[in-house]
Structure 1
Amino acid sequence: MTVLTAEAIRVGPDLDAWLKAGGGEGLSQALDDPAAIIPTIEAAGLRGLGGAGFPTHRKWSAVAAQPRLAGEGKWVICNGNEDEPGTFKDRFLLSRTPHQVIEGALIGALAVGATNVALYVNPREAASVEATRAAVAAWTGHDLLSRLSEALGEPLRIGVFEGSGLYVGGEETAAVASVMGRFPFPSLKPPFPAEAGVNGAPTLLNNVETFAHVPHILRHGPEWYRGLGRGGAAGTKLFSLSGDVLRPGLHELPMGTSLRELVFGCGGGMLADRGFKAVFTGGPSNTLLTDAYLDVALDFDSLRDRGSRLGTGAMIVVGEGTSILRKTAEYVAFFAANSCGQCPPCKVGTHQVSRILGRIEAGAGRPGDLEALENLTQLLPGSGRCGLVDGAATVLASSIKTFRGEYERALRHG
């Protein structure tokens, strides 16, 4: 299944090759009937693929309903900040096939009436920055871009914005602040970016992968897109597979593919014939699933029904012999180091959790440590302006619930 990735291999950052391969047809159809864009996205069942899985058409409709801000218009931000451990899909799309991402963002701009498009890229991903800048330059002056400006009633401006390189910079209000040249502090909502984003203008934010699907939906139709998924799921999904598997890498599969097929089919099974122990689903900010869930369908609703989340589609596999306690300590340390410090419960809480986990993992745990960790999983969620502290609390709570014995053994025996 290669809706997004086949063209990357064949055409790369070459705009002419992209257009010859059918690129541009989605934008051209959108220009012929702009009013049909959002209903088409709704009929396709496209959801945000940066983690939350929010219905794309609802976000687009909210921005489309807002008037343009005088002197500023509206904005579209294509969020490519990707910085979570185990997630590497967006950098592939931006570095290998940026034109489908750009075309999707241009269709989004037309749908909501935006005259500014920001391709927001993690500066540490040099290949992504370079390829995206070259791709934007290739679009400059193209007839499709001229037609888009004419449809919008004023020139469309598109540019590449390098983020701060910080994990919190991927949160939507932090991304808005970064595009405005400010430090990426997440801010309280409301107002949401759809109401007041860049310089106070209505702003549409979607993930790189979300925009990459849009040209294909417009080109082939919503029924085709829905038919790519399995069960009740629509379309395809990029899965970043890593950890204790023989063939880690990026895999595009039908939405609704089972975890077993991803790990043992695409991933080739476990390293060194080790048993499957667990997987961090959707990256390290989500819950753990054990082998009892190997046949779960990897889609938003199926994982939610099992108390988990699809997230970004990162799947970090853990084999027998690898310590869940150690992996959890590593990931919580990441969150603690990446707290922006704006919200005291987040900054202090994540560091406290990290210190306790480090102490237990080092064999110096204290009698009340496990109870303290469990209390923190209750106190911390919802205490920050973004999801960082919630992610740390989620993975901690899941690891204790699922592998409590590891914590108890470490506290007893070191």
Structure 2
Amino acid sequence: MTHRPVLLAPTAAVGADLDAWLQNGGAEGLRHALAAPERIIPALARAGLRGMGGAGFPTHRKWSSVAGQSAGDKYVLCNGNEDEPGTFKDRHLLSASPHQVIEGALIAAVAVDANHVLLYVNPHQHEALKSTRAAIEQWRASGLLAPIERRLGLRLALDVVESSGRYIGGEETAVIATIEGGFPFPRRKPPYPAESGVHGRPTLINNVETLANVTHILRHGADWYRALGIGEACGTKLYSLSGDVLEPGLFELPMGTSLRELVFTHGGGMLGPLAFKAVFTGGPSNTLLTADDLDVALDFDSVAQRGSRLGTGAMIVISAGTSIVRKVAEYVDFFAAGSCGQCTPCKTGTYQLSRLLRRIDTGVGVQADLRALESLCALLPGSGRCGLVDGAVTVVRSSMQQFREEYERQLID
């Protein structure tokens, strides 16, 4: 499913076989890390690695925050909850090539002196969960953990934790709550996980794809990784392409590949005779891009300059024959169902957004409904403990700005 493999695509016949991974250069990055732990974080800084789970936060800054905390129990959490529509990269990595993810997490443990490494996996992703568990058993039996334990002076705990399987369970403080045995309620920040995470201890949380890059950077060098990107962008990116395209799938391409190339070269162009209309970038919680944005470079900074976010790299393509109002209604339904209910503005606000959108989509909406949508979009941002309600508002507000005429046409007054 991965096109033009550059970095993260599993080598043929490796998969979840640790011996095959080692024969293809696996554990070399870990050996470099153990030989010079003080060089790990500077190498990530020079490489320009950023978080691939959505925010694009510089990885070295997050690692430095945890490394700078006092000694004792520390945690590295690999976040593989992945439950947002249109995003399917992490489950592929965990299913087809879990060893590079585990090795990246172990390198993180060496860098920040963490003695707990937990892979947090969505239980609905059965193959990913099965493959990750099998891979961890192989690492435990391999003897490769012993050098890490000698460096730490502590026993290293390496394990899998099933997430709640809920969308909100991927928010980083909800990850912590789940691992502590509670319901995945997001928590207010500060304190941030780097200071007070699992059981109050310093905690590093990274996305699956972020950690999968680490061993390659340590093995080949920061300059090599930077050169894989286009222009100022660094490395490669997994783009989850879906929607109205001929060849949807997961494509590993240089970071900075244009939206036009992704859709029309790698995705085979539009499904049927209808023209490109829009794309939900990074999943359905961001600002929509339109045909005017087809030449945007798909990297964090370039997409941000267009008023959107690269997010997870998910690209849900919409053709001219698809109703924007209906697609937005479907996604807001998802957010409303995914609200944990902890914050009243989020619980009731997403429900009301969903109700109003369904009225307009089904042809019974009036001008007052459109005004109510606009009012909610002004009132709701920042009202929750996490970004769920903000994401719902973003896609509604963006769709009304870009496709206002579609909303107007479906009103009955």
Q: TM-score, normalised by structure 2?
A: 0.98
Residue pair 1:68, 1:201 contacting (<8 A) in 2 also: no
Q: Which residue is equivalent to 2:295?
A: 295
Q: 2: distance between equivalents of 1:130 and 1:142?
A: 19
Q: 1: distance between equivalents of 2:11 and 2:412?
A: 52
- Tell me the SS of whatever aligns to 2:144: helix
Is 1:373–2:376 an aligned residue pair? no
Letter in 1 for 2:9: A
Map 1:184-333; keep pairs closer than 5 Å: 184-333=184-333
Is 1:169–2:169 an aligned residue pair? yes
Q: Which residue is equivalent to 1:100?
A: 100
Residue pair 1:279, 1:315 contacting (<8 A) in 2 also: yes
Q: 1: distance between equivalents of 2:181 and 2:162?
A: 10
Q: Which residue is equivalent to 1:86?
A: 86
Structure 1 residues 3 and 104 mapped into 2: Cα distance closer, same or farther (>3 Å)? farther
Map 1:135-174; keep pairs closer than 5 Å: 135-174=135-174
Q: Which residue is equivalent to 1:55?
A: 58
Residue pair 1:7, 1:18 contacting (<8 A) in 2 also: no
Residue pair 2:84, 2:167 contacting (<8 A) in 1 also: yes
Is 1:11–2:25 an aligned residue pair? no
Letter in 1 for 2:141: G
Q: Give the CA deviation at 1:141.
A: 3.4
1:49-71 Cα distance to aligned partner (Å, 9 max, x none) = 000000000000000000134xx
1:334-392 Cα distance to aligned partner (Å, 9 max, x none) = 00000000000000000000000001101110221111111111111111011100100
Q: 1: distance between equivalents of 2:74 and 2:9?
A: 33
- Tell me the SS of whatever aligns to 1:120: strand
Letter in 2 for 1:87: T
Q: Give the CA deviation at 1:274.
A: 1.4
Q: Give the CA deviation at 1:8.
A: 4.9
1:32 aligned to which of 30, 35, 43? 35
Q: TM-score, normalised by structure 1?
A: 0.98
Residue pair 1:193, 1:204 contacting (<8 A) in 2 also: yes
Q: 2: distance between equivalents of 1:8 and 1:220?
A: 16
Letter in 1 for 2:113: G
Q: 2: distance between equivalents of 1:164 and 1:25?
A: 34
Residue pair 1:68, 1:202 contacting (<8 A) in 2 also: no
Q: Give the CA deviation at 1:181.
A: 1.1
Q: 2: distance between equivalents of 1:188 and 1:223?
A: 38
Q: Which residue is equivalent to 2:69?
A: 66
Letter in 2 for 1:170: G
Q: 1: distance between equivalents of 2:37 and 2:143?
A: 17
Q: 2: distance between equivalents of 1:170 and 1:68?
A: 27
Q: 2: distance between equivalents of 1:264 and 1:152?
A: 50
Q: Give the CA deviation at 1:6.
A: 3.2
Residue pair 1:46, 1:55 contacting (<8 A) in 2 also: yes
Structure 1 residues 8 and 389 mapped into 2: Cα distance closer, same or farther (>3 Å)? farther
Q: 2: distance between equivalents of 1:344 and 1:287?
A: 24
- Tell me the SS of whatever aligns to 1:103: helix
Cα root mean square deviation, aligned: 0.9
Q: 2: distance between equivalents of 1:332 and 1:220?
A: 43
Letter in 2 for 1:169: G
Q: 2: distance between equivalents of 1:88 and 1:45?
A: 24
1:276-302 Cα distance to aligned partner (Å, 9 max, x none) = 000001110011111111000000000
Q: Which residue is equivalent to 1:181?
A: 181
Q: Which runs of 5+ in 2 are unaligned?
A: none
Map 1:313-392; keep pairs closer than 5 Å: 313-392=313-392
1:178-228 Cα distance to aligned partner (Å, 9 max, x none) = 111110000000111100111111000000000000000000000000000
Letter in 2 for 1:332: V
Aligned-residue sequence identity (percent) comes to 66
Q: Which residue is equivalent to 2:407?
A: 407
Is 1:43–2:50 an aligned residue pair? no
Letter in 2 for 1:150: R
Structure 1 residues 84 and 400 mapped into 2: Cα distance closer, same or farther (>3 Å)? same
Letter in 1 for 2:234: A
Letter in 2 for 1:238: L
Q: Give the CA deviation at 1:89.
A: 0.2
Q: 1: distance between equivalents of 2:52 and 2:354?
A: 29
Q: Which residue is equivalent to 2:121?
A: 121
Q: 1: distance between equivalents of 2:154 and 2:228?
A: 37
Structure 1 residues 9 and 315 mapped into 2: Cα distance closer, same or farther (>3 Å)? farther
Q: Which runs of 5+ in 1 are unaligned?
A: none
